[in-house]
Amino acid sequence: MNSTTMPMTAHAAQAAARVERLLAHPRVADWVLLKGLGRLLVNHEPSAVASLRTSLLKMGASSLPAAALPAMAKVLTVTRRMHEGALSAAREGRPVAWITWPVPAAVVAAFPVLVYCPENFYSVANASGGDGSTRLCELADRHGVPTDICSINRCMLGAFLGDELPPPQLCITANHPCDGNHAGNTILRELAPCPHFSMGAAYDRSPQSVATWARSVWEMIAFLETQLQQPIDWLAVERHARLINRLNKALNHVTELHRNAPAPRLINALAVFWRMVAAAAWEPELADGAELLEEAAVSLVERARRKKAPREPLRVVLGDQAITWTDFSAWIWEEYSGSVVSDYIGHFCHPPIDTSSKESMIEGLVLDRLHMSMIRQSHGTMEYTLDELTTALSEYDADCVLFHGNVGCKHNLALRREIEALCRSIGIPALFLDADIVDRRLIGEQALRQKIKKFLADEGLPR
């Protein structure tokens, strides 16, 4: 396999490199990317820059404060390196270990393998145009991948079938938190046969569950040691854990700072971090970037306070997994001067990892993963989701909450009534969009925006 069989990855790597270069000059980048293109692309999709559009919107486009650019540059470095690593590993046949989101990847990364997270591929695909992930879903459909599976996983399978993934030497999956992962992994294992380790699933975050998971991780370490014929590098694990602690501390703080009115509008930046945290949380640049972001957030809040800036006319909470092929925050900013103050994905509330012993580190890394967005809300009883939503709605001074309502996400679909009742009791209006978060064939961007517009008008928002 060579790099020409991974056109989407190659494209994403190039694009990341280009933007990274631009970000070296934050001021220019601010004008060109955020204020220029960013504003233009909110409402238009000219084919010449279509491939940039989704990535830019996901970053927040014109709603992203320029102060965040240095941090974004760091994330981009990690992103580019990940793409390039995948390309070169595929080219040179270096060992690759596939992981899925809930696997404490920092432990795997303490072995000499390239850690790769195929579940993230939707974002790679969308870097080559807003319909990249949709095309992969189509490809998966063509190969008979059942449509009952959540499209994030169908997209991952499409990527495999389209030869977009570096071939794995090992595969470590956790059938957690949802049927989508479970089903996607089942098929992936069949299509890409290689030694495989499955972590099972703990249902909640009780001490027993965490202990169970930790035990699985120990088993995983043993598995990796036999497979790679190499002992785990505990120093690396510790280094990773410390870096993750730095990262989490900063990003938790950035999340919290959005309680301020006006909010620093860095939710999108957080979501961008999330994607890399899923795949490469232990990279030093990521921790550096997180701290830069924290700095930016603090100064933004400070400046707003100094200037006595008024509260935004509209504060929006995104209550579930955001659509991957477009983003609304720039549009909300342009259209209503509103900001997104809390998001299901860009919400960091990770506990610190205790690095004092191997055991405590493993437990800490497990708990860290269980606190990762998407995983955090998808396990446990409905209270896990409802409590978090209650916090977001009541403490972040929200005006309304939008749910993208991923059609393939069955456990969230079953919560809809309770969520509606909760919003009603708190007195915050909620909108369900019924979109597919990866496959844009179901309902398009314009229709979604129209829905939001109408909803806001009905509710008399912005105030």
Distance CA 121, CA 227 (A): 26
The site partner of 359 among another protein, ligand SF4, none (C-beta below 5 to 8 Å per kind) is none
Q: Report the residue number, 32 or 414, with the smaller CB distance to ligand SF4.
A: 414
Piece of the chain touching ligand SF4 by CB under 6 A; list 172-180, 257-265, 291-299, 364-372: 172-180
Residue with tokens 């990892």: 353
Determine, following the binding rule CB under 6 A, whether residue 293 of this chain makes contact with ligand SF4. Answer: no
The site partner of 443 among another protein, ligand SF4, none (C-beta below 5 to 8 Å per kind) is another protein
Determine, following the binding rule CB under 6 A, whether residue 185 of this chain makes contact with ligand SF4. Answer: no
Cβ proximity of 388 and 371 under 8 Å: no
Cβ proximity of 165 and 116 under 8 Å: yes
- Distances 134 to 55, 142, 239, 322 between C-alpha atoms, Å: 15, 12, 38, 15
Cβ proximity of 369 and 353 under 8 Å: no
- Considering only residues 385 to 414 of the shown chain, the ones binding ligand SF4 according to CB under 6 A are 406, 408-409, 412
Least Å from the CB of residue 373 to another protein: 18
Residue with tokens 């998407």: 374
Paired tokens of 50: 């279509």
The site partner of 360 among ligand SF4, another protein, none (C-beta below 5 to 8 Å per kind) is none
Q: What is the 3-state secondary structure (H, E, C) of 30-97?
A: HHHHHHHHHHHHHHCCCHHHHHHHHHHHHHCHHHCCHHHHHHHHHHHHHHHHHHHHHHHHHHHCCCEE
Q: How many CB atoms lie within 10 A of CB 222?
A: 12
Least Å from the CB of residue 274 to another protein: 22
Which ranges constitute the DSSP H helices of 265-415? Answer: 267-280, 284-307, 329-336, 358-370, 375-378, 382-395, 410-413
Determine, following the binding rule CB under 6 A, whether residue 140 of this chain makes contact with ligand SF4. Answer: no
The site partner of 128 among ligand SF4, another protein, none (C-beta below 5 to 8 Å per kind) is none
Piece of the chain touching ligand SF4 by CB under 6 A; list 174-182, 199-207, 269-277, 284-292: 174-182
The site partner of 11 among another protein, ligand SF4, none (C-beta below 5 to 8 Å per kind) is none
Least Å from the CB of residue 319 to ligand SF4: 13
Cβ proximity of 51 and 128 under 8 Å: yes
Is the peptide bond prior to 262 cis by the omega test (within 30 degrees of 0)?
A: yes
Q: Which of 374, 400, 415, 433 binds ligand SF4 (CB under 6 A)?
A: 374
Q: Report the residue number, 235 or 457, with the smaller CB distance to another protein.
A: 457
The site partner of 406 among another protein, ligand SF4, none (C-beta below 5 to 8 Å per kind) is ligand SF4
Least Å from the CB of residue 379 to another protein: 9
Q: 111-121 burial by CB neighbour count: b if 16+ within 10 A, else e?
A: bebbbbbbbbb
Least Å from the CB of residue 180 to ligand SF4: 3
Q: Report the residue number, 15 or 152, with the smaller CB distance to ligand SF4.
A: 152
Cβ proximity of 319 and 419 under 8 Å: yes
Distance CA 281, CA 80 (A): 14
* Phi, psi dihedrals of residue 97, rounded to the nearest 5°: -115, 125
3-state SS, residue 273:
helix
Q: Report the residue number, 51 or 377, with the smaller CB distance to ligand SF4.
A: 377
Helix 151-161 and helix 132-142: axis angle, to 10°?
80
Q: Report the residue number, 16 or 370, with the smaller CB distance to another protein.
A: 370
Determine, following the binding rule CB under 6 A, whether residue 152 of this chain makes contact with ligand SF4. Answer: yes
Q: Report the residue number, 32 or 414, with the smaller CB distance to another protein.
A: 414
The site partner of 338 among another protein, ligand SF4, none (C-beta below 5 to 8 Å per kind) is none
Distance CA 391, CA 426 (A): 11
The site partner of 152 among ligand SF4, another protein, none (C-beta below 5 to 8 Å per kind) is ligand SF4
The site partner of 235 among another protein, ligand SF4, none (C-beta below 5 to 8 Å per kind) is none
Distance CA 324, CA 130 (A): 9
The site partner of 432 among another protein, ligand SF4, none (C-beta below 5 to 8 Å per kind) is another protein
Determine, following the binding rule CB under 6 A, whether residue 158 of this chain makes contact with ligand SF4. Answer: no
Least Å from the CB of residue 50 to ligand SF4: 25
Least Å from the CB of residue 418 to another protein: 6
Least Å from the CB of residue 393 to another protein: 16
What is the binding site for ligand SF4 (CB under 6 A)? 150, 152, 177-178, 180-181, 321, 374, 378, 406, 408-409, 412
